[in-house]
């Protein structure tokens, strides 16, 4: 086995793989955050909670109703998306005319309610979700062992991310969405149902978070606080990428996952903080973010 | 506002009499430490409209610094507190300088992320005791004079510090500096066009707030004799936001009241509802944002001024 700087190549590739998996979650989550923020001006602090809800929906669906992974992959984001639409209609809608800080505080409270309740009902330890049979095991590529499920997570989230990008940048619906971002009241004057558009956007954004949660369920322990620390990293990713751009959110999410993976090989003690350090550097060198416009 | 001096005198009398009334002094000290923390936070949010989501970093880091200097190096409590406060000020300078490069919600996200960085440093650094934290920190003797191991003496020291911090914050807000800060809060572009270097004002407010939050943390470390990761954790940052919001952002007494309510709830509610405390705290957040954004003191002040306005024509 060949080494690079005394580290076996297989280890480096393995960590790269893990990094990419984490990066996929960052990308999916920061994409949803960017879409919600772009249209509604709301920083969705509850994003991590919706990710957790997605994972729990899949787990409970399996345990109580016998819903398998592939159905959960569609059903859980739909269910969580509906919850999101209800939240938008009942609560967030009241805050659009106010300082965006209130949206942040409200969603922070919602996240606490969701996480606190899940913690109380299901305990702190967490449960594991079985890897679906079709994706169990892995392939030996000769130079490294490729776990099938992890490869699937990366492929699925890349496809979802770029489909979302395509919808927003290249379709009629996306054009309407972008128009609402620029000037919602003018668009409404043209006869577009902007309040409905906002509900759908929020629902769609949190459905992406829930999808990430279902994808994550078999590789992490499903517990009440799985989303709360993740969302902080995702915020840092969003600051680094700049919230203005969809593509920026995707690219910086994946890239930071990889950087984090490499840090685990080179200097494991710093792997928890490397994203925050990069954020600090970006703030010094390019305050608007790498892809941001100010 | 003639009622104000009366209310303040009553509050001070009550606070002075606490050890005689049989109220557990450690609980009162905890309350005062968090009230100080919330007042420091309010200086930033209420008067500078900067929503920091990472203030536990200053509170907890100062607590760790003080605890470590006392227990590992045998420093006296006075100098250890000063060193803790200095550490918080320095940290505030670094985090503040980074965070004020962006505004509004970005500011909140940056402070949150950098506080998480501080949390991980506290988790992994050799001097913090990792998951266990620092235990058995002796209170010692303050400047060779006051033996702090007595709860009553410690209580009066904490109370005196709190009153000084409260007075300082009032003084700062009413100073020309505070006026400029409020002007920036209300209309930033206008303050810029009037020629103010707004970033200097924001940074100074941030450092001041971090420093006072650090003072609260250092005192708390000595009061309890231990420092744990909970002191630097994100949930503590959330708690202080709630205290300020619930009591009334931008009012002087609001954060004190908010801290009182939240600390009492956390202390006594957990016996009644067990683990539901987090969810209840979250629901309080939602209620505050939707129903009374001015906070308790803010809404009461508004009611009082409305009542006065309707009464005046009747009298004349």
Residue B52 lies in a domain: yes
Nearest to B234 by CA among B19, B52, B38, B86: B52
Q: Which of B251, B259, B166, B155 is nearest to B212 (CA)?
A: B166
**Contact indicator for A225, A70 with CB cutoff of 8 Å:** no
**pLDDT tier at A174 (50, 70, 90 boundaries)?**
confident
Choose between B66 and A123: higher pLDDT. B66
pLDDT attached to residue A4: 67
Which of B98, B105, B113 has the CB atom closest to A43's CB atom? B105
The answer to the question of residue B149 being in a domain is yes
> Confidence band (pLDDT; 50, 70, 90) for A50?
very high
Mean local confidence (pLDDT), A61-65: 89
Distance CA B131, CA B48 (A): 35
Kindly state whether residue B16 falls inside one of the protein's structural domains. no
Q: Judge whether A186 and A99 are in contact, CB under 8 Å.
A: no
User: Could you tell me the two tokens for B310?
Assistant: 């309707």
Contacts of residue B153, Cβ cutoff 8 Å, sequence gap at least 6: B146, B147
Residue in B29, B5, B3, B1 with CA at minimum distance from that of residue B15: B29
- Inform me whether the pLDDT recorded for B89 exceeds 90: yes
d(CA A200, CA A197): 5
Kindly list the distances between the CA atom of residue B283 and the CA atoms of B55, B213, B244, B289, in Å, as whole numbers in the listed order. 21, 25, 16, 10
pTM: 0.88
Residues of A with CB under 8 A from a CB of B: 37, 43, 91, 94-95, 98-102, 104-106, 108-117, 119-120, 228-229, 232-233, 235-236, 238-239, 269, 272-273, 275-277, 279-280, 283-284, 287
The confidence band for B301, taking pLDDT boundaries of 50, 70 and 90, is confident
Kindly state whether residue B261 falls inside one of the protein's structural domains: yes
Q: Compute the distance between CA of residue B56 and CA of residue B62 in angstroms, rounded to an integer.
A: 10
**Domain ranges, residue B202:** 24-315
From the CA of B119, how many Å to the nearest CA of chain A?
9
Cβ-defined contact of A236 to B113 (cutoff 8 Å): yes
Mean pLDDT of B223-235: 88
Question: How far is it, in rounded angstroms, from Cα B211 to Cα B56?
Answer: 12
Using 50, 70 and 90 to split pLDDT, how confident is the model at B87?
very high
Helix A172-182 crosses helix A148-170 at what angle (to 10 degrees)? Answer: 70
Own/partner long-range contacts of B68-76 (Cβ < 8 Å, ≥24 apart)? B68/B127, B68/B128, B68/B134, B70/B137, B70/B138, B70/B140, B70/B221, B70/B222, B71/B134, B71/B136, B71/B137, B71/B138, B72/B127, B76/B140, B76/B141, B76/B142, B76/B143, B76/B144
The verdict on residue B133 lying in a domain is yes
Do the chains contact at A43 and B108, CB–CB below 8 Å?
A: yes
Question: What does DSSP assign to residue B229?
Answer: G
**A272, A30 Cβ separation under 8 angstroms:** no
- Establish if B9 belongs to a structural domain: no
pLDDT of residue B316: 43
Place of tokens 């505050």: B288
Integer Rg of chain A from CA? 19
- Largest Cα span, chain B: 71
Q: Are A157 and A28 in contact (CB under 8 A)?
A: yes
**Cβ–Cβ of A117/B288 closer than 8 Å?**
no
CATH numbers and ranges of domains, chain A: 3-285 (1.10.3470)
CA–CA separation, A107 vs A94, rounded Å?
13
Q: What is the 3-state secondary structure (H, E, C) of B27-43?
A: HHHHHHHHHHHHHHHHH
pLDDT in tens, B191-219: 888 888 888 999 999 999 999 999 999 99
pLDDT > 60? residue B315 = no
Residue B40: inside a domain, yes or no? yes
* Start-to-end CA span in chain A (Å): 49
The count of structural domains within chain B is: 1
Q: Is the ipTM of this complex over 0.90?
A: no
- CATH code at position B34: 1.10.3470
Dist CA B289 CA B285 (whole Å): 6
pLDDT tens-digit readout, B100-130: 888 778 888 889 889 989 998 888 888 877 7
pLDDT one-digit tens code per residue, A108-163: 999 999 998 998 888 778 888 888 888 887 787 777 778 888 889 999 999 999 99
Considering chain A, what is the average pLDDT of its residues? 86
Residues of B in contact with A272 (CB under 8 A): 120, 123-124
Give the tokens for residue A282: 């970006």
Closest by Cα among B184, B175, B57 to B123: B57
């Amino acid at each position: 086995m060949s080494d690079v700087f005394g580290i076996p190549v297989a280890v480096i590739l393995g960590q790269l793989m893990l990094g990419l998996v984490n990066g996929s979650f960052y990308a999916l989550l920061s994409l949803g955050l960017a879409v919600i923020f772009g249209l509604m001006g709301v920083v969705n602090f509850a994003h991590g909670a919706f990710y957790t809800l997605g994972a729990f929906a899949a787990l409970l669906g399996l345990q109580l109703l016998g819903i398998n992974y592939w159905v959960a992959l569609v059903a859980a984001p739909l269910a969580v998306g509906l919850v999101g639409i209800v939240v938008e209609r009942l609560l967030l809608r009241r805050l659009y005319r106010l300082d965006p800080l209130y949206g942040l505080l409200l969603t922070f409270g919602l996240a606490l309610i969701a996480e606190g309740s899940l913690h109380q009902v299901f305990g702190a330890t967490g449960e594991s979700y079985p890897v679906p049979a079709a994706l169990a095991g892995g392939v030996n590529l000769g130079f490294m062992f490729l776990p099938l499920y992890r490869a699937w997570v990366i492929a699925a989230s890349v496809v979802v991310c770029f489909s979302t990008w395509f919808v927003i940048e290249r379709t009629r619906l996306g054009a309407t969405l972008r128009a609402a971002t620029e000037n919602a009241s003018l668009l409404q004057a043209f006869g577009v149902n902007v309040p409905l558009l906002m509900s759908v956007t929020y629902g769609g954004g949190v459905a992406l978070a829930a999808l990430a949660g279902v994808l994550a369920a078999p590789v992490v322990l499903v517990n009440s606080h799985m989303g709360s620390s993740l969302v902080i990293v995702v915020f840092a990713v969003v600051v680094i990428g700049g919230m203005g751009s969809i593509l920026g959110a995707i690219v910086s999410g994946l890239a930071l996952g990889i950087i984090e993976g490499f840090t685990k090989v080179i200097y494991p003690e710093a792997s928890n903080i490397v994203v925050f350090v990069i954020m600090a550097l970006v703030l010094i060198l390019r305050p608007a973010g790498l892809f941001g416009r100010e | 506002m003639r009622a104000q001096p009366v209310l303040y005198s009553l509050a001070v009398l009550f606070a002075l009499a606490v050890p005689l009334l049989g109220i557990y002094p450690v609980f009162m000290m905890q309350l005062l430490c968090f009230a100080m923390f919330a007042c420091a936070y309010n200086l930033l949010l209420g008067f500078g409209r900067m929503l920091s989501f990472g203030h536990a970093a200053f509170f907890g880091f100062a607590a760790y610094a003080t605890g470590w200097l006392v227990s590992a190096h045998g420093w006296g409590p006075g100098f250890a507190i000063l060193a803790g406060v200095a550490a918080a000020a320095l940290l505030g300078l670094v985090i503040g300088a980074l965070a004020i490069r962006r505004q509004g919600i970005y500011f909140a996200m940056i402070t949150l992320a950098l506080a998480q960085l501080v949390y991980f440093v506290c988790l992994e650094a050799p001097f913090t005791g990792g998951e266990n934290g620092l235990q058995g920190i002796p209170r010692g003797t303050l400047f060779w004079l006051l033996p702090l191991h007595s709860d009553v003496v410690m209580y009066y020291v904490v109370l005196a510090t709190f009153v000084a911090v409260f007075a300082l914050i009032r003084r700062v807000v009413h100073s020309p500096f505070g006026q400029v800060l409020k002007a920036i809060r209300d209309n930033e572009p206008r303050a810029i066009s009037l020629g103010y270097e707004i970033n200097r004002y924001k940074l100074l407010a941030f450092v001041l707030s971090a420093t006072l939050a650090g003072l609260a943390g250092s005192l708390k470390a000595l009061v309890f004799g231990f420092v744990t990761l909970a002191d630097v954790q994100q949930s503590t940052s959330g708690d202080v936001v709630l205290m300020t919001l619930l009591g009334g952002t931008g009012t002087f007494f609001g954060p004190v009241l908010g801290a009182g309510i939240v600390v009492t709830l956390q202390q006594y509610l957990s016996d009644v509802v067990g683990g539901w405390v987090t969810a209840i705290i979250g629901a309080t957040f939602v209620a505050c944002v939707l129903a009374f954004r001015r906070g308790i003191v803010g809404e009461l002040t508004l009611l009082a001024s409305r009542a006065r306005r309707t009464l005046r024509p009747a009298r004349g």
